[in-house]
Structure 1
Amino acid sequence: MEKRKLLEAMFHAAVKAADPTIAVPAVLPPRPDGRVIVVGCGKASAAMAVAVEKAWGPCEGLVIVNDGAKLPTQQIELVEASHPVPDARGTAAAHRICDMVSGLTDKDTVLFLISGGGSSLMPLPADGLTLEEKQQVTKALLHSGAAIDEMNTVRAHLSKVKGGKLARLAQPARCITLMISDVPGDNPAHIASGPTASGAGSAAEALEIIDRYGIDLAPNIRAVIESSEVPADVSGELHMIATPQKSLEAAAQVARDAGVTPLILGDAIEGEARVVGKVMAGIAKQVVQYGQPASAPCVLISGGETTVTVGDRIPGKGGRNSEGLLSFALTCWDEPHISAIFCDTDGRDGSEDNAGAIWLPEFREELDSRTAREFLTAHDAYSYFAKVDGLVETGPTHTNVNDFRAVLIEA
């Protein structure tokens, strides 16, 4: 199989492995007796809602999704809101969800549909905090280089619904949560900041993260975190229906079928995007020079969410995957047998509408390494890959299991 087609086929297999229309029916129990309410948030939650109603029929409920991700449902209402910085639409919808799950009895059932992106899509600021202040903290975290689990630990202490508080509000109703993981380690407390899961971390841990990344908090915001509490234990049923690891395994099978040896390096590789790109390139060069950790042809597969620290520089167009891939390309610029794809499984990498990008050695003939480095320095990897026809565009995939990286080394 031609290298570009193989890399793209692996990415599409990873996305398909997390398809809610397949994953939801596999774990969904029979529709309970009594009143059933379906609520949720996240980039995959629209497709999850569609799958639920296909199995259970029309359901009362409300699910918050990112802009452009709505799908036709029978009765569940879908509301669009902003990601990654929260907005008033998400706040209003979060208030409505709280009203829906309040005052229920033990004869009622609440089905929660939770996926990555829900932290910003369902923002209900804690008492003493405004939406504008929460937006400021979110922006500061996004630009700080903090990892996703660190960001979500902080956000759980700034919210009325995160850190298990939404599930506690629904008690004594039967609570069932279906989750699609987009975080390293698949910790339920860090997926959408865990509206139905305990274990978000203490207020002291949240403040330590804030201080470590040098984020300047207004005194009232720090006071909100210091006084916040998250439930120590939230009862209910929780099903992890799709994970990054399952998607990496699906991509690995595509490689095997093409006669290429897959090596899964990990589903939780984090760090600065540029640094991760360099590390991946270093491993690929080791394969070329020494046949380690495998002989070519082989493909190195990994997942996990990287970060981009912008600092004071005004960024150009792009996201963590395209930036990491351009750093990768520059590190192995002189290697004619190395290709790669870095993409976000939700179909959108950063500020633009591409899922990510692909690197092929022939791109060197289009633009030289000096020009490529100028794009990287300007945090403008999108523009570089647009010029060499390296963008990967899928549109919304209606799922989200974090980033996908595959590095192909040919013999």
Structure 2
Amino acid sequence: MPVYARRRLQAMLNDLAPLLTIEKAADLLARLEHKNARDALAAEVELSLLWSIQQVADLEIDPVLTNSSARPDAFTRTLFPRGPALVEIRAVSDDTFSGKDLMNRAADKIGHFCNRQRKKSGAHLYYRFMEARRREGGQLRRVRRVTKDFELTPALERKLEDWVSAPDWPNPPTLQLTDEQIDVVIEWRKYVHPEGRVFCSMPPVADHIEDNPVYSALRSKERQLSKSEAGVLKCIFLGDAGCYMLRELKPLGGFQVSGEQVIHYFLQRSKVDLVCVFSPYRNWGPFMAAGSNSPKWKVTLFERESSAQRDAEYERLNRIALGLPQPQLEGYQARSWHRQGLFDPQGKGIYLGTTVTTKGGFNMSISISSRMVLELLAGRITQEQFQNYAFRGDNFFEQQLKAGCTIQTARLQKGGLDEDDDQLVFELEPDWGARPLRNPKL
């Protein structure tokens, strides 16, 4: 899984089992294993936050409300000093806001047409979508030049066919398609990664206080809390599942609307009491020690009305964040990795790195991914792939055997709950069984 290792996800499911109904457990499991990155990441965010709340306070999952069919995600009496609280959890991503779905849809249609003209030509196409400025509601807004219902017209098909079918294709290496539906420059490249084949200079940032994924998420969760009883805090927990506005909450100037501004705007017009943002965040800087820039959870609290107990509430929320298992990736990375199928339990594993340690003389220790060794023995990867993954093309075992060393001991070093891999540690030492005999008199 993207944010957490599968071992960790199963451990959290097991810990929450006493609080889950059969239906809720089945729902969480189905979404965790969903092929759609948005559904899987949302389930991970919900599971982990419920699990972490349980570590610091009492918890009721999917509570039944009086005179309402709504089922908020959680109810807790002791999480906040101010009193009992209903909590709605929502993962937010840039999936729809980034325009990537629309761009990929158009790229699929163009690529499939090109493949019919020249076999496998679509696999070499890279798409740069143009942007434009349009006035909407008195506001000048940036838009990507591709419509949600884009279809190839006969004129566009003729242009593509002439380009792809040319005897000297790809010459020229680029082609621009432009009409009222689309404006895109298509470029032939020797290699194009399926996850990185589309680009637009317009980033996934908001220029409207309401037309953005953060505001939409808040409004949808507000409705779930609208029938709560008097005296019960209404809280929304937002999890960053690849959302720029949550990763960078502060405004950056210009026409850009920030996540912080959107949340404040929402709270001013809402009866929701608290909005808490949880984001896996990686600090970057010069001279950082190895491992110090691993992702960590960052929590930010927003209140509709200032409270004298804000510090105590922040302390509780920080305990939740500190109790969350360390994320493997930031949200946008997790979304990309999931789309590439890297978290299929029966796919290629995500291997722990190889470590080679010299212990003086010819003695050497080699730590290598146990999952990688298993896949080699199972015939799922080739010897060449094994050498590339483990030793960047070299073969340290061959080098050691050639030097007259053999494996003296081997052990398994467990990776723990936060890795879906372990390491096999081989200790190699000189062995007369693998080297020429020596004259003891010399």
- Give the TM-score normalised by structure 1: 0.31
Q: Which has the higher strand share?
A: 2
- Structure number with greater Rg is 2
Q: Which has the higher helix share?
A: 1
